[in-house]
Structure 1
Amino acid sequence: MNFHNRVVRTLAILSAATVFGNLAVPASAAEVAGIKLDDTVRVANQDLKLNGAGIRHKLVFKVYVAGLYLPERKTTVPDVLAVSGARRVTIVMMREVGNEEFGRGFMSGIQQNIDRAEKAKFVSQLMKFGEVFAAIPELKKGDVLTVDWIPGTGTLIHLNGRKVTDALPDLAFYNAILRIWLGEKPIDSQLKSFMLGDKPGDAPRSGNS
């Protein structure tokens, strides 16, 4: 092989290595308002992908960034609620919020999106869920709260990696928690759209879509 052919072959190998190397590089983390969320997380030995994320606004304030993780992409509420594997909602605080205010928002979000029969069924779990916020003095800027569904275990909540509640075993209750953001009366309709995968500029969703 002459020198010219060796050069051509070397360039071809380098070019192929560059292409395949680029394909192997993982996608960068998603960024919302300067807060980075991993594209993929591992929950209960299962890889979950970031389905969508956005900002929870209250009046003129940015309260937190929330991201929804699922085994595969879903764009409608019924499909999200029907997922059989692990799931996660990650919340990253953007400002300091007292535990009473934060807890009230969560409890109100659940109760506005469940009917009377569900409220009666969930009494004990709602009480335990409320105890989570009583155990947290306040949520500070940068704190990370994760709300996981673990098949065979239940709902687990962690604050900055520390478990703050025992498992709540009812899948229907986890779905009730999800409806805080995804229900017919979400706490933030724009955040609902973003968690379902919409991007800025998309038409807003309504109802269970």
Structure 2
Amino acid sequence: MKNRIALFALLLSLSAGAAEIGGVKVDDAAKVGGQDLVLNGGGIRVKFGIAKVYVAALYAAQKSKDGDAVVNAATPRRISLTMLRNVNADDLHESLMDGLKENSSEAEMAALAPKIKEMNAIFAAVKEVKEKDVVLLDFLPGKGTQITVRGQVKDVIAGDDFSRALMRIWLGRKPVSSDLKKGMLGG
């Protein structure tokens, strides 16, 4: 009986601290830039109505249902993307570019051009993200966006402007998916 109780307690402790979104376990908390963050929400990115691409999870200093407040926060944030299928670098770049263009003015896109080029170089070097790979976009106020792929930090792209532009892909006026935005904002 003691062994069963111990096993149940162990299983319970292993499942504590994780949520499940679309069959993918995501942590309830993260640490970015030395700050503890909470899982704000998440969802599945579906393309063409049928193709599940990734599970996105948003972490923030405190829970919020206000996308603009999260985008403009002066605290660290994270978007975690757990891939549900293989995606090559060109397709990933094209998808991110579409989201940036939808949520940025021409002047903003022109100002972000060198940073977008840096991001493209990072994903071109990765070549492909595969099913179950995790891409972390850590937003570090005053520093920029740290991109981590498969547990390896690839680079930090300087500038809060770039961080805000990237976050608007999911949380902006024209997000990649309104259902995904709603889920990431805890809806």
TM-score band, normalised by shorter chain: 0.7 to 0.9
Question: 1:51 pairs with 25, 32, 40, which one?
Answer: 40
Kindly name which structure, 1 or 2, has the bigger radius of gyration based on alpha carbons: 1
- Whether the 8 Å contact between 1:64 and 1:94 is mirrored in structure 2 is yes
Q: Distance in 1 between matches of 2:186 and 2:55?
A: 14
1:192 is aligned, of 170, 177, 181, to: 181
Mapped pair 1:138 → 2:138: no
Mapped contact 1:54–1:65 kept (Cα < 8 A): yes
State the Cα deviation string for residues 90-136 of structure 1 (Å, max 9, x = none): 00000111111111101111111100121121111111111122111
Determine whether 1:161 maps to 2:151.
yes
The AA in structure 2 aligned to 1:68 is: L
2:65 corresponds to: 75
1:128 aligns with 2:118: yes
Distance 2:14 2:136 in 1: 27
1:48/1:26 Cα in 2 relative to 1: closer, same or farther (>3 Å)?
A: farther
Cα distance in 2 for partners of 1:35, 1:169 equals 31
Structure with a larger share of its residues in strand? 2
Distance 1:28 1:125 in 2: 35
**Contact 1:107/1:130 (<8 A) preserved:** no
8 Å Cα contact 1:48-1:72 kept in structure 2: yes
Task: Report the CA distance between 1:152 and its aligned residue.
Answer: 3.6
State the SS of the aligned residue for 2:64.
coil
Equivalent pairs counted in the alignment come to: 174
Q: What is the aligned-residue identity percentage?
A: 39
- Give the Cα–Cα distance (whole angstroms) in 2 for the partners of residues 112 and 151 of structure 1: 23
Q: Aligned-pair distance for 1:161?
A: 1.2
Amino acid of the structure 1 residue aligned with 2:46: H
- Alignment match, 1:65: 55
| Distance (Å, rounded) in 1 between the aligned partners of 2:122 and 2:130 | 16
Cα distance in 2 for residues equivalent to 1:136 and 1:25? 32
Gaps of 5+ in 2: 1-12
1:119 paired residue number: 109
Aligned counterparts of 2:177 and 2:29: Cα–Cα separation in 1: 24
Unaligned 5+ runs, structure 1: 1-23, 199-209
Aligned to 1:203: none
**TM-score (normalised: structure 2):** 0.88
